Structure 1
Amino acid sequence: MRLVDRQQRSYASFWSILVLFLLAPAIVCAQAPPAAALRVSGDVPNHLNLSAADLAAFQPQTIHVTDEKGVPAEYSGTPVAEILQKAGAPLGKDMKGPNMALGVIARAADGYHVLFSLAEFDPAFSDRTILLADRRDGKPLDSREGPLRIIVPGDKRHARWIRGVDALEVFKGR
């Protein structure tokens, strides 16, 4: 074999190893599970970008429900009303008149979205707590359900139990 061929192969190996070395962190990061993050926007005075740490700072709540397969489950997380209240949504005594036409669209990373009336989240209007869950049965939500999921106790169908929630948008109805 000629010396030139060996040198060319040696350089090619060097560059291949260098490229792999430089790309390895990007490949590892791309495979890491997504961190819980939630954006709150729309017709609220305070738009929020909440990290997992921000969400953990809320007082956690746990609810017991039956999932879509009929299996009892315990979900833990933050009541959506508390998040909306932090964004300045009119809840409690301010939930009257034109504010009764406010809605909330919950959006998932995969494009799925669900419509709620803002009043559905207000403890003054309902005894149920709609939860933004990050845990099921004491464990973080798996990649199929999470990292965040809205749980709506009392719904006979679970179509509004939106998985992979990443945004809440408050808007005025017409």
Structure 2
Amino acid sequence: MKPLLLLSLLISPFCLLAQQQPVLKIKGSVKTELTLSAADLQRMPRATATIKEHDGKDYTFSGVPVQAVLEAAGAPVGKQLNKATLNTCLLIRCADGYQVAYSLAELDSSFTNNVAIIADQVNGQPLPGNRGPFRFIMPGEKKLARSAFKLEELIVVSIKE
């Protein structure tokens, strides 16, 4: 066996181990910044949301309610989301540089009946590579512009003038 081939066979398993698994970071104006793996998200409470995609068909996504992730990080949710914290927003950053924003009130069950989720599955299957591994889903919106693909970071920002 040629030395170069032997060396590549020996190194290959270590290269695979060194590759990072996808994670979602939650940071900003939170009590505890988090880095959540797909396995971490699987252990959290789950919810589903159905939206109509650009092809006109309904798709059912499953994942973690955004409110649960924000609560785990110590962002103001529920009773903590009040007059003093209603200027707080969530900036969503994606792998391709796309960014969208929501006010925390738009994502909180004490303000809305819509349950935004961080989806990792669609119709019972993992999200396709060009749309995952995590996707932000907000049911009830007329346009899908804020349904962001390839989530990397959720950043909680308090807006003050």
**TM-score above 0.5:** yes
SS at match of 1:54: helix
Matches within 5 A, 1:116-135: 116-135=102-121
Distance, in Å, in 2 between the alignment partners of 1:140 and 1:35 is 15
**Aligned residue number for residue 8 of structure 1:** none
**Aligned residue number for residue 128 of structure 2:** 142
Structure having the higher helix fraction is: 1
How many residue pairs get aligned? The number is 160
User: Does residue 16 of structure 1 match 2:4?
Assistant: yes
When normalised by structure 2's length, the TM-score is 0.90
> What's the C-alpha RMSD, in Å, of the aligned pairs?
2.0
CA contact (8 A) 1:149 1:162 kept: yes
Distance, in Å, in 2 between the alignment partners of 1:18 and 1:109 is 35
When normalised by structure 1's length, the TM-score is 0.84
Which runs of no fewer than 5 residues in structure 1 stay unpaired? 1-12
Matches within 5 A, 1:1-174: 14-25=2-13, 35-174=21-160
Distance, in Å, in 2 between the alignment partners of 1:17 and 1:63 is 49
Measure how far apart 1:159 and its partner are.
Answer: 0.9
Distance, in Å, in 1 between the alignment partners of 2:17 and 2:68 is 32
What one-letter code is carried by the residue in structure 2 that aligns with 1:14?
Answer: K
The runs of at least 4 consecutive aligned structure 1 residues that moved more than 4 Å come to 26-30
Which runs of no fewer than 5 residues in structure 2 stay unpaired? none
Describe the superposition over 1:82-134 as per-residue Cα deviations: whole angstroms up to 9, x where unpaired: 10011111111221122000011111112111111111110001010111000
Describe the superposition over 1:113-156 as per-residue Cα deviations: whole angstroms up to 9, x where unpaired: 11111111100010101110000000010101100000111111
Distance, in Å, in 2 between the alignment partners of 1:112 and 1:25 is 33
Q: Which has the larger radius of gyration?
A: 1
Distance, in Å, in 1 between the alignment partners of 2:15 and 2:141 is 40
Percent identity, aligned pairs only, is 34
